[in-house]
Structure 1
Amino acid sequence: MSSYLTKRITYMILILLAASLLIFCLYAFTPGDFISGNMKLSPERKAELREIYGLNKPVLERYIIWMKNAFHGDFGYSLAQQRPVLTLFNDYIWNSFLLAVVSTFFTWFIAVVIGVVAAYKLYSWFDSLIMVLIFACMSLPSFFIGLLLIKMLAVDLKWLPPGGMITTGSNATGMAYVSEVIHHMTLPVIVMTLLGLGSLTRYFRSNMIDVIQQDYIRTARAKGLKERKVLFVHALRNALLPAITLIGFELPGLFGGSLIIEKIFNWPGIGQLYMSSFSTRDYPLLMGFTMLIAILTVIGTLLSDLLYKIADPRVKL
């Protein structure tokens, strides 16, 4: 195990170094930046700012400086927001993380239950209805579902607020603040759950159909075990094994934010900040965020491999 981890960590470092060079060059060679695109600045002031932030240096030298600072926890300074990049991440990324964690929990829980029942009742009216709903969730765009639910639940029925994280002008603290945040996040969580539910339910349903046809499932039934125990203990445990590989892709998604959902519901998350940085050409923030997603991706891949080994001892690392 130790030799495997050493080898994988070495590969991760090499991959991240290559990714960092690619990310830096991608934004460095993109025409224009925040300073050159700011029409309010005089040519003298632009030249002064480029000198201060080192934007007039060769690309390779700038990359080395950026990487040296990144190793010390400094991903640069956002010119548009006038704040350090990591400070902005700390202010916004946890809002996105809150939405992602709650919606991911409900998505996986509902997908597992519905997938198991649909596989057990294969080709029944329940299975047919589930398949129709699955394809509906997979085909409808996120902005359409979001705007539809805002119209129904927020505008017409007035059950939920249409957007934001807290009520405008609210000074709530303690449990009142928590209750207010939960009330505001309910609608975006519903939309994010519906968007992820379709493909994941179909995935679990297909795995369960393959597993319940195995010989050991028939043996468990022949021993007189209850059907619930056969499905949710024996069959589900093996059906979940392929799903472990999906965990590697869930980790960057937890911190990456949902660009469209956060924009629709005016949720102050990292996704909305990332999108606004494109219009202002705030390259330090864009580079820092893209590098963060790359780091989370390689870590998530390593975790999924280790979890797969723990869940199935037959797998060799």
Structure 2
Amino acid sequence: MRQYIIRRVLLMIPTLLGASILIFFVFALTPGDFVDTNLKLTPQRAQELRVLYGLDKPIIERYFIWIGNVLRGDFGFSFKYQEPVSDVIKHYLWNSFLIAFVSSILTWCIAVAVGVFSAIKRYSWFDTLVTLGVFAAMSFPSFFIGLLLIKYFALDWKVFPVGGMTTTGSELAGFGHWVDVAKHMFLPVLVLTMLSVGTLTRYFRTNMLEVIRQDFVRTARAKGLKEKVVVYKHALRNALLPAITLLGFELPALFGGAIITEKIFNWPGIGRIHMEALAFRDYPLLMGLTMLLAILTVVGNLIADVLYGVADPRVRLK
């Protein structure tokens, strides 16, 4: 196991290096930049800014300067926010993590419970309703569901705030502050959960149907074990093993932000500033965000592989 982890970590180096080359050149070769889009600048001032930000240097030289700074933890300077990219990311990253983490917990709990019960009660009225609900939730775009929830819960019934993270002008602290944040995050969390739970429910239902047909489940039943023990101790444990692979994609999703949902609810997260940086062509911030997601993806895949080997003794990591 130790040698496997060491080899995977060493393989991460060329993978991330290739990702950095791709990320930098995609943004660097995109026509136009922050200076070009600012029509208020005189030609002299525009040239001064190009020299200041290093945009006048050859693209190869700019890449080596950028990757050298990244290795030291410096992702550059944001044109839009006029502060280091790392500070901008730190400021908004945990806001996105908050709603994504809560949504992921709810999604997995609901998907496991509903998916398993739907597999046990296959072709029943419950299974039919779940199937209809799953496809209905998956068919609506996030902006439509978000606007619909805002209309009913925020405007008509006035149960939850329209958007933002805290009440404007609020000076609440401690427990009161977190209650206020919880009220504001309810609707975006509900949208993210509705969009994610459908696919994951079908995934667990399919896995459970495959497992309950296998010989070891029939053997457990033949021994006279109770149905609950057969389902939840033997079948469910094996049905959850393939889901560990999905955990590798959860890590970047937790920090990547939900672009459309955060924009609709005016939630100050990574997804929203990603859209704003794209509109302003703030390429240093875009490269920093994309590089961070690349790192999280590689690390998430490593964690998933290791956890799969730990959870299933039949898997030998070599």
5+ residue gaps, structure 1: none
Paired with 2:288 and 2:70, the residues of 1 have a C-alpha distance of 9
Residue 277 of structure 2 corresponds to which residue in structure 1? 277
Number of matched pairs: 317
Paired with 1:245 and 1:276, the residues of 2 have a C-alpha distance of 32
Paired with 2:33 and 2:132, the residues of 1 have a C-alpha distance of 47
Q: How far did 1:225 drift?
A: 2.5
Q: How far did 1:33 drift?
A: 0.7
2:16 equivalent to 1:22: no
The 5 A counterparts of 1:55-204 are: 55-204=55-204
The 5 A counterparts of 1:207-222 are: 207-222=207-222
Residue 231 of structure 2 corresponds to which residue in structure 1? 231
Q: How far did 1:194 drift?
A: 0.6
Quick one: which amino acid aligns to residue 38 of structure 2?
N
Quick one: which amino acid aligns to residue 149 of structure 2?
L
Deviations 1:41-90 (A, max 9, x none): 11111111111111101111111111111111100000111011000001
Q: How far did 1:149 drift?
A: 1.2
Residue 257 of structure 1 corresponds to which residue in structure 2? 257
Q: How far did 1:252 drift?
A: 0.3
TM-score (norm 2): 0.98
5+ residue gaps, structure 2: none
Paired with 1:229 and 1:183, the residues of 2 have a C-alpha distance of 39
Paired with 1:141 and 1:46, the residues of 2 have a C-alpha distance of 41
Paired with 1:121 and 1:296, the residues of 2 have a C-alpha distance of 38
Moved more, 266-275 or 158-167: 158-167
Q: How far did 1:26 drift?
A: 0.7
Moved more, 256-265 or 29-38: 29-38
Paired with 1:276 and 1:36, the residues of 2 have a C-alpha distance of 16
Deviations 1:250-306 (A, max 9, x none): 110000000000011110001000001111110000000000000000111111110
Moved more, 211-220 or 80-89: 211-220
Q: How far did 1:229 drift?
A: 2.2
Secondary structure of 1:31's match? coil
TM-score (norm 1): 0.98
Deviations 1:106-125 (A, max 9, x none): 00000000001000000100
Moved more, 220-229 or 5-14: 220-229
Secondary structure of 2:33's match? coil
- 4+ residue runs over 4 A deviation: none
Residue 53 of structure 1 corresponds to which residue in structure 2? 53
Secondary structure of 1:36's match? helix
Q: How far did 1:219 drift?
A: 2.2
Secondary structure of 2:35's match? coil
Residue 301 of structure 1 corresponds to which residue in structure 2? 301
Quick one: which amino acid aligns to residue 211 of structure 2?
V
Deviations 1:183-220 (A, max 9, x none): 11011111110100000000000000111111221222
Residue 8 of structure 2 corresponds to which residue in structure 1? 8
Quick one: which amino acid aligns to residue 10 of structure 1?
L
Q: Percent identity?
A: 60
Paired with 2:28 and 2:315, the residues of 1 have a C-alpha distance of 43
Paired with 1:60 and 1:5, the residues of 2 have a C-alpha distance of 33
Residue 312 of structure 2 corresponds to which residue in structure 1? 312
